[in-house]
Amino acid sequence: MCFTKGCSEYRKSIRRDKLEGDFEALLKDLKPAANLFIMAFEMFRDLWAAKEQSVEQDKEAIQRQISQIERKSTQLLDRLVESEHVAP
């Protein structure tokens, strides 16, 4: 139903198949401008580069954490070996 006051179709039913068919025809006629594709491509490329940089930073942080854990693990093992006290 159309609920726009002043419309010639106000409070009249519109068949679903006609409405959907007209909408489909409207969508087929719509074509985005070429510069829209260029702008979208550039936006996605910039977003991808930012994600790559973020992943690289995360990777470096994880590698630093691994190095710290390995260093602490080695220190702990060295202390255990050097310890004169043996637990019963």
Q: List residues bridging with 21 in a β-sheet.
A: none
pTM tops 0.75, yes or no: no
Length of the chain (residues):
88
User: 72 versus 27: which is more confidently predicted?
Assistant: 72
CB 11 within 8 A of CB 3: yes
For 36-61, write each residue's pLDDT tens digit. Answer: 989 999 999 999 999 999 999 999 99
